[in-house]
Amino acid sequence: MYDVAIIGAGINGCSVAYEFIKEGKSVILFDQEGIAGGGSGAAGAFISPKFSKAGELKEMLHSAFVYSYDFYDKNFSHAFTKAPLTHIAKDEADDEALHVYKQKTQLSLQKIPTDLYSQLTPDAKKREYICIDGGVVDAQRVCNDMSYGAKFVKEKVDTLVFNDNFWVINETYSAKNVVLATGAYDMLVKEPYIKLRGVWGHRIKVKTTTQNPCSVHQYVSISPSNEGKLAIGATHNVHYHPEKNLKKYDIEQGRAELLEKAAKTMQLDNVEVIKDYMGLRSGSFDYMPMVGSLVFSNETLFTCKAFLYVKKPDYSKYVYYPNLYMINGSGGYGFVLAPYLAKILTENILHGKKISERISPARFFARWAKRR
Ligand SMILES: Cc1cc2nc3c(=O)[nH]c(=O)nc-3n(C[C@H](O)[C@H](O)[C@H](O)COP(=O)(O)OP(=O)(O)OC[C@H]3O[C@@H](n4cnc5c(N)ncnc54)[C@H](O)[C@@H]3O)c2cc1C
């Protein structure tokens, strides 16, 4: 019997595994594809805050950025490359947002490095920019190393049954707690209020004679990769989904789009694409992540009728699945959020520390129940 079974070995699942192992707990980790075989393996994995004017997501991402930058640097420095991060505005509205961000931020702002500035296009040079200390995670390596000490099982989880006081997984393995970290894939536990949208992304590794030591973000991200190569990537294709589209994703067209967008920021000479990475990232419908216990909707509707339609529902009155949790919906910031959220979730499971209602999956149950 394991203390926790984690389903999904992307950055979210591996970060939870890391926290449990650190607490001396036994962990079994499942993934149908392998470690970082889903969206996490496709990611550029930049560690960056959200450069917007205001809002709760911006605030949360600022805290997560500060926490995770330090976390990767201290614990996984071998798989974390510190690189100045230059974010350039795309248009006038973006100029304004970056301007406001710069006035308010506590982060230490830098000048754009001269060797990068000289390579920017005239259009990029005209725009507002922010340059700070950022970093890039080696996604595969970090996920592998974070899950060191967990029993890894390469298997699709099809069944999850609660039996007395523990969960039985695929009729074979048992665990006291289960964490669903299944990204944009089908939710194993079907609950009508849990809705996630998958956004397709494509990243290419290119060989080029252009030198670029910085992470540059404008229409796409252009960053140093290993062995002197560059990585160019974006999660932008909201219209493509591997399970819903009949036509296969057009890789050549995707490459051309990425290179065309990169050329709007800087000129890249003698480019040769050497590898493609593709995957889905999952986001929630209010853009905030979903972390915590799962409400059992049928039972809650049946037993808590009186509490469902009040203006400010008390989530503690809902009925929850026993010892079943999720961590998902990190959008384009999975690598920034995962260490921060995994700590919050682990402290909740092991020490009963409360999770903010703003990230609890129960908020979606409350809205769904009212609309019914
Ligand atoms: C091209 C691209 C670029 C990105 N760039 C960045 C970036 O620069 N910075 C950043 O912070 N984020 C970035 N992201 C977003 C980031 O990758 C995601 O937020 C993050 O990977 C989500 O991690 P996850 O663990 O939730 O999901 P995933 O990595 O998708 O992991 C879920 C795993 O669950 C497994 N699984 C699902 N169902 C089952 C089942 N029933 N049984 C067994 N296994 C199952 C899947 O095989 C999968 O491996 C990018 C994403 C993409 C696609």
**Residue in 350, 370, 352, 288 with CA at minimum distance from that of residue 316:** 352
**Residue in 247, 240, 243 with CA at minimum distance from that of residue 202:** 240
Share of the chain above pLDDT 70, in %: 96
Query: How far, in Å, is the centroid of ligand 1 from the Cα of 38?
Result: 5
Q: Is the dihedral angle over the CA atoms 156, 159, 162, 164 positive or is it negative? A: negative
At 126, the pLDDT band (50, 70, 90 cuts) reads: very high
- The string of pLDDT tens digits covering residues 264-304 is 999 888 889 999 999 888 999 999 999 999 999 999 988 87
Query: DSSP assignment of 259-279, as one string?
Result: HHHHHTTB---S-EEEEEEEE
- 8 Å CB contact between 105 and 131: no
Ligand 1, residues 72, 172, 186, 235: which to mutate, most atoms within 8 A of Cβ?
235
Query: How far, in Å, is the centroid of ligand 1 from the Cα of 37?
Result: 8
Q: Inform me whether the pLDDT recorded for 238 exceeds 60.
A: no
Predicted structure pTM score: 0.94
Interior/surface letters 270-298, b for 16+ CB within 10 angstroms, e for the rest: ebebeebbbbbbbbbeebbbbbbbbbbbe
Distance separating alpha carbons of residues 151 and 27, to the nearest angstrom: 6
- The string of pLDDT tens digits covering residues 70-83 is 999 999 999 998 88
Give me the pLDDT at residue 250, please.
87
Q: Which atom of ligand 1 is nearest to the CA of 31?
A: 44
- 8 Å CB contact between 68 and 171: no
Residue nearest (by alpha carbon) to ligand 1 atom 4: 43
Query: How far, in Å, is the centroid of ligand 1 from the Cα of 371?
Result: 30
Note the CATH architecture for domain 2-38+142-196+285-371. Answer: 3-Layer(bba) Sandwich (3.50)
Residue 74: C-alpha distances to residues 68, 69, 277 (Å): 10, 9, 28
Give me the pLDDT at residue 213, please.
76
At 237, the pLDDT band (50, 70, 90 cuts) reads: low
Q: Which residues line ligand 1 (CB under 6 A)?
A: 7-13, 30-33, 37-40, 42-46, 156-157, 181-185, 188, 201-203, 233, 235, 279, 281, 328, 330, 332-336
Listed by start position, the domains of the chain span: 2-38+142-196+285-371, 46-137+197-281
Q: Which CATH class is domain 46-137+197-281?
A: alpha beta
184 three-class SS: coil
User: 298: which DSSP letter?
Assistant: H
Query: How far, in Å, is the centroid of ligand 1 from the Cα of 181?
Result: 9
Give me the pLDDT at residue 319, please.
94
Amino acid identity for residue 356 in this structure = S
78 three-class SS: helix
* Structure-block tokens of residue 282: 């999952």
Distance separating alpha carbons of residues 287 and 344, to the nearest angstrom: 18
Ligand 1, residues 71, 138, 156, 185: which to mutate, most atoms within 8 A of Cβ?
185
Query: How far, in Å, is the centroid of ligand 1 from the Cα of 42?
Result: 8
The reply to whether domains 2-38+142-196+285-371 and 46-137+197-281 share a CATH topology is: no
Q: Inform me whether the pLDDT recorded for 24 exceeds 70.
A: yes
At 52, the pLDDT band (50, 70, 90 cuts) reads: confident
